[in-house]
Chain A
Amino acid sequence: MNYTLLLVLQGALLLGITSGALGTFALLRQQSLLGDAISHAALPGIVIMFLLTHSKDPWLLLCGGALAGVVGVVSMNYIVAHTTLKKDAILGIILSVFFGFGLVLMTVAQKIPVASQAILNKFLFGNVATLLKEDIYVVACISLLICAILTLFWKECAVYVFDPMFTQSIGFNVKIIEIILTMLLVLAIVIGLQTVGVVLMSTMLIAPAAAARQWVTKLLHMVVLAGIFGGCAASVGVYASSVIDHLPTGPAIVVAASIIVFFSLMCAPKRNAA
């Protein structure tokens, strides 16, 4: 196994663990679509950042993506508060409007006479071949940060996700908990975009969590197991895309994750779903 592959596998593993663990909260809050909306909303941010800076630095572009993701969430909450539209409709609107806008901007960016716009394509379906050692350090730092925050606010996040009304009644500021959970989700998505891409990122959040739910009865176990499943899926996908020519990483990871979900649904001990 060569050095580059090893490096890329490390990055994918970290990404898989982080997004799997955080996906648990999105799944349990019945917000599976939220991750999808945030990742699609990140695209115009990435392209605008590119148009402004002409930079090849993926992390600078991803800062733009994170900002746009936050703008997406804020506009979503605004529409929820000021209209009677249902949440799924609003998520659908945000997702497609931001993504469409991002694709239009990408066409504009392709016409710019600089060579670096090729980097934009990798955000669509993900490409780990270009990951550098420094990128892995950034991924590792963000993953550690996410784990630390989650550990610190574990009790608060757990009770809020289970019973928000009760959490508010015992005096916690639920807006702060909500912001923490959303920010963590945005961070996890941002570090995943290079590897999996905008289009398939939500699978990395939802599939490991859905698979883990079949096996466990405690929230902590679910978060840990979802992290393990995410890490496995990401590693397998990355390895497959490195040995098979022209196989984009994102779809390869998604196929691996789907196999884990399928296996879990078939083989996990019967839960008391009835």
Chain B
Amino acid sequence: MKNISKIPALDVSHLTVSYGDSLVLSDCTVAIPQGVMLGIIGPNGAGKTTFIKSVLGLVPQQEGTVFICGQTLENARNRIAYVPQRSSVDWDFPLTVFDMVLMGCYGKLGWFKRPGTAELAQVQQALAAVGLSAYADKPIGTLSGGQQQRAFVARALVQDAQIYFLDEPFAGVDIPTEKIIIALLKKLCDEGKTIVVVHHDVLTAPTYFDWALLLNKKTIACGPVELVLTSQNLSHVYGISSVICAWDLKYQKSNQP
């Protein structure tokens, strides 16, 4: 059973971000209710990653306000879990899988405090949930791409957050990994957590997400997935009829009884 508050999980108003002279996001206003699984969809360079990063304060906002569960970002830090793109770190770093996943509890511990037995138990649980228990003491450099992504997700599970941001978690991973991650995210969602996923694949979006944010340097549409990913909206963003045909085909299929 979902126990969901009326306060939006993510409330973004007039968010504008630019890198140097180029405007990446302009005037994005989005309200996402708690307990939904949201896919951020859009073409390359649409500002999907920038949207997440600016919401999390990782790139400076030029204008706009962001509230997470009704709180400012600074007050909501411990309710947020962030899974960066897998390619953003050096996987040859001298670190075991266990120690990397343990980093998920550092935010709640704050400065100076060291993890205790409760945190270690959380890591074991998270590793079991993503099927990496056997790899706990292996160096992260020995993991395959899919296992790396699952380890990243395990680190987010340890964060025990209200709202999870994942940046392209399905890029270049194997099918079992994709299935494990999706099942985990759906479970979190059922517990009332909010999931925000940057996703590049329009075709799989309706099967994975119940909400969608269609982005192309500004908000095109945001809402339940069947209202957002319409052929009209998609042709507006992608401008390629072939994508739309494939999309309509798939969508009609999935809607048939």
Residues in A lying within 8 Å of B, measured CB to CB: 28, 30, 152-153, 155-156, 158-159, 161-163, 165-172, 213, 216-219, 221-222, 271-273
Contacts and interface: CB of A to CB of B under 8 A. Distances in A.
Contacts of B106: 155-156, 159, 167, 170, 172
B68 to A, nearest CB: 12
Contact of B100 (A155, A156, A162): A162
Among A156, A162, A167, A170, the one with the most B-chain Cβ atoms within 10 Å of its Cβ is: A170
Among B74, B84, B94, B159, the one with the most A-chain Cβ atoms within 10 Å of its Cβ is: B94
16 contacts: A28-B90, A28-B94, A152-B112, A155-B112, A159-B106, A162-B90, A163-B89, A166-B82, A167-B106, A169-B56, A169-B80, A218-B94, A218-B99, A219-B95, A271-B141, A273-B92
Given A30-B90, A155-B112, A219-B95, 12 more contacts: A155-B106, A158-B103, A163-B88, A166-B82, A166-B155, A167-B106, A169-B107, A170-B159, A217-B95, A217-B139, A222-B94, A273-B92
Given A159-B106, A169-B58, A170-B77, A221 B94 contact: yes
Among A28, A163, A221, the one with the most B-chain Cβ atoms within 10 Å of its Cβ is: A163
Contacts of B141: 217, 271-273
Contacts of B100: 162
Contacts of A170: 77, 80, 82, 106-107, 159
A169 B111 contact: no
B172 interface: no
Given A166-B84, A217-B94, A217-B139, A171 B89 contact: no
Contacts of B114: 155
Interface residues of B, number: 33
B249 to A, nearest CB: 38
Interface in B50-102: 53, 56-58, 74, 77-78, 80, 82, 84, 88-90, 92-96, 99-100
Contacts, number: 84
B58 A219 contact: no
Given A28-B93, A219-B94, A168 B74 contact: no
Given A155-B114, A171-B77, A171-B78, A163 B159 contact: no
A168 B93 contact: no
B82 A169 contact: yes
B154 to A, nearest CB: 13
Nearest to B76: A171
A183 to B, nearest CB: 17
Contacts of A30: 90
Given A163-B89, A218-B94, A272 B139 contact: yes
